[in-house]
Amino acid sequence: MRSIRTLALTVAAWGTLVGAAWGQAVQMDRTVEVQPGTRLQLDNHFGDVTIRTWDRAAVRVQGSHPVGTTVDVQPSGSILQIEADRPGSHNNPVAYTLTVPADMAIEVDLVQGNVDVAGTRAGMNITSVHGNITVVGGADVLTLESVQGKVTVTGARGRVQAETVNQGIELTDIRGDVQAQAVNGRIVLRGIDAGRVAAETVNGSVTYQGSIRSDGWYRFSSHNGGIDLTMPANAGAVFTASTFNGTLQTGFPVTLREAKEGKEFSFTVGSGGARIELESFNGTMSIQRTGQ
């Protein structure tokens, strides 16, 4: 999987994709039987990818591609590889609609286009340089990266690692640790049940509503944006908060342990336990109890 910096460079290299000739489309529909444990690997330069699930041990490949383009569906050991052969130009769009076993691990590498996945009970590794990534479900480890697109995940039951450059991240109803990183976009985390959460953005706000485990570690950071933390009423934590041009607001009494020059604070909420770090250079840091 390419790093987010490498993806940003790829955006410039593929900027000429917009406005490419689409040509006449050919419809495809093929079903391939697969063995348990087979992993899907899809490489696509240009075109949307939609993935749904069923209870069959097979992968159905539907979609469209221009005349002259061929789509190879190659089972090889524990991998089912799907890739289009575009003679003369990568600008020819190939749109995929796949139906896969619910427990099949997924890997998608895409330059331009949206990725929409729903119904899986397995891990996934998805990259789209120029497009949104939307996931409903998923388990194990979800690694999702975009440059010019939003990352949205709902109902995952595993660790989520989400990165984007010029859009936001929205994670809802997640049961697993979370790492979210954006440059120009807000991060919204709701209904999170995790022992480790890290959310960081440069230009945007960070919102967290979820559990605070007594042995957990949570870090929320924004350079130009506020932080809005809502924690359970009975949660306890030791906070470290720092700001330069911002303020700190709490909806309940806190026990101040230490205050350093430059608006750095350490304080305890409730009986302590969890470690929570807040950092905002320009923005308000707000801490509230659930229901306030």
Give the closest residue to 223 by CA, choosing from 179, 167, 182, 169. 182
Q: Region 195-210: what's the mean pLDDT?
A: 97
The answer as to whether 275 is a domain residue is: yes
Give the closest residue to 144 by CA, choosing from 181, 113, 112. 181
For 86-90, 221-225, 287-291, which range has the lowest pLDDT when averaged over its residues? 86-90
The CA–CA distances, whole Å, from 31 to 27, 67, 137 equal 14, 21, 23
The answer as to whether 230 is a domain residue is: yes
pLDDT winner (highest mean) among 2-6, 54-58, 68-72, 91-95: 54-58
Beta bridge partners of 182: 164
The answer as to whether 260 is a domain residue is: yes
Handedness of CA 156, 115, 161, 108 (dihedral sign): positive
For 68-72, 164-168, 178-182, 274-278, which range has the lowest pLDDT when averaged over its residues? 68-72
The answer as to whether 64 is a domain residue is: no
Query: What are the tokens at 172?
Result: 């809802």
**What's the CA gap between 221 and 33, in Å, rounded?**
46
Q: Which domain holds residue 188?
A: 4-13+39-51+100-289
Q: Region 99-116: what's the mean pLDDT?
A: 97
Q: Region 177-184: what's the mean pLDDT?
A: 97
The answer as to whether 244 is a domain residue is: yes
pLDDT winner (highest mean) among 1-5, 249-253, 279-283: 279-283
Q: What is the pLDDT of residue 131?
A: 97
The answer as to whether 23 is a domain residue is: no
Query: What are the tokens at 289?
Result: 């109890």
Number of domains in the chain: 1
